[in-house]
Structure 1
Amino acid sequence: MNKVNAIQSKDPYSKWVITLSIAIPVVVAVLFGMPKVEGYNFSFLPPIYATINGLTAVFLVAAVMAIKNGKRQLHERLIKVCITLSVLFLAMYVVYHLTSDSTPFGGEGAIRYVYFFILISHILLSIVVIPFVLFTYVRGVIGNYEKHKALAKYTFPLWLYVAVTGVVVFLMISPYYK
């Protein structure tokens, strides 16, 4: 039995996690290449989805604090809130970028390099974190708490970084929105 089949026999959700982990970034990338949908103004969305990123960060920290204090049910609820917020973020992000051109960063000098470092690391890690979040969540749902905990040690800082840098990117680019 190969590694993929071994993983899938222990975890019936693996196919879904792998499919979503590939499909989400591919769909988002394809959407960026599509012509913009005209006639809609969703310019109000960036501050909303930046706020959602900020709330995700707060709830992630609260979820970790809850589990460290032995409050498993609260931890589970907070993680479900984080996943819901992430899905809402993704939906708003896609709608905004389907209807609006990307805003170029107007800063100059060293801040420009800082911005692009944060942006690029945010984008790359937002792709990497998808399977981490999904596999960590599934392992918790199916009761494989040892593997859940082992993977969560990596998932939490990655997810927190993506959530926080989403806010930072928004704050840095917000002066340049039209």
Structure 2
Amino acid sequence: MNQEEKLQAEKKYNKWIVILSIAVPIVVAILFGVRIPNVAPLSFLPPIYATINGFTALFLVIAFVAIKKKNIVLHENLMTTAVLCSAVFLVLYVAYHMTSDSTKFGGEGAIKYVYYFILITHILLSIIIIPFVLITYVRAITENFERHKKIARITFPLWLYVAVTGVIVYIMIAPYYV
């Protein structure tokens, strides 16, 4: 496939990237305000989705090492798994918040500011990362590897930060779950 064909293949996905990048945060925000009636709180989910975030981070790091070692198949499989893990995380996270009240952080002093800094940057970057992940993934599946590498240099550290801080936020707030 020549460069022009790769760009055309990539463009086919652009509409979906834009739609998902806008729709996902809006739908998540809307669903946060929805409570499913007559459903017991899914209070067992936070450690599960935190673990999924941990696995996502692990898959990202191993995929990074794999591509540096030119193990393309392992890299592709790990990145696809990381994308799927992120999607499962999102579904579980929304399900938890549709059945449970948000947990308030109970720490005081400097740790409270650390927690909120990590939480706010995690939330903002989790929104920002959506189009980056989608664009990076599309550039890989359309075999536009030079453009893939350029954006992956931005996507990787942002996505890794979101995955790791998701675990940190859980660890910091876990003592305050009811």
Which of the five TM-score ranges fits, normalised by the shorter chain?
Answer: over 0.9
Q: Does 1 or 2 have the higher relative contact order (CA < 8 Å, sep 6+)?
A: 2
Which residue is 1:90 aligned to? 90
- Report the secondary structure of 1:153's partner residue: helix
**Are residues 10 and 43 of structure 1, via their aligned partners in 2, closer, same or farther at CA, if it must alter by over 3 Å?**
closer
Counterpart mapping for 1:57-136 below 5 A: 57-136=57-136
Partner of 1:3: none
User: Distance between the aligned counterparts of 2:68 and 2:37, measured in 1?
Assistant: 46
Contact residue 9 and residue 142 of structure 2 kept, 8 A: no
Counterpart for residue 55 of structure 2: 55
Write the letter of the residue equivalent to 1:148. Answer: H
Once the two structures are TM-superposed, the CA of residue 8 in structure 1 deviates from its matched residue by 7.3
The residue that corresponds to 1:140 in the other structure is 140
Q: CA deviation at 1:32?
A: 1.6
Matching residue of 1:11 = 11
What is residue 44 of structure 1 aligned with on the other side? 44
Contact 1:38 1:99 in 2 (8 A): no
Equivalent-residue separation in structure 2 for 1:121 and 1:10 (angstroms): 30
> Relative to 1, partners in 2 of residues 1:13 and 1:93: Cα closer, same or farther, differing over 3 Å?
same
CA distance in 2, matches of 1:176, 1:89: 21
How far off its partner does 1:139 sit? 0.2
In structure 1, what residue type is equivalent to 2:156? F
Unaligned runs of 5+ in 2: 1-6
Looking at structure 2, the residues matched to 10 and 164 of structure 1 have their Cα atoms a distance apart, in angstroms, of 29
1:62 aligned counterpart, secondary structure: helix
TM-score by length of 2: 0.93
- Distance 1:8-1:22 versus aligned 2 partners, 3 A rule: farther
1:168 aligns with 2:138: no
CA distance in 2, matches of 1:73, 1:176: 42
Maintained 8 Å contact 1:105/1:173: yes
Counterpart residue type for residue 117 of structure 1: F
Equivalent position of 1:4 in the other structure: none
How many pairs does the alignment contain? Answer: 172
Offset from partner CA, 1:12-70 (integer Å, 9 cap, x none): 10000110000000001111222453422310000000000000000000001000000
Instruction: Give the match for residue 22 of structure 2.
Output: 22
Shift of 1:10: 5.1
Runs ≥4 residues deviating over 4 A: 7-10
Separation in structure 2 between the aligned mates of residue 93 and residue 85 of structure 1, nearest angstrom: 12
Q: Could you say what the CA RMSD is over the residues aligned between the two structures, in angstroms?
A: 1.3
Amino acid at match of 1:133: V
TM superposition score normalised by structure 1: 0.93
**How far apart, CA to CA, are the structure 2 residues paired with 1:175 and 1:77?**
35
Q: Report the Cα distance in structure 1 between the residues aligned to 2:67 and 2:20, rounded to whole angstroms.
A: 27
Q: Is the 8 A contact 1:8 1:14 kept in 2?
A: no
Distance 1:26 1:143 in 2: 31
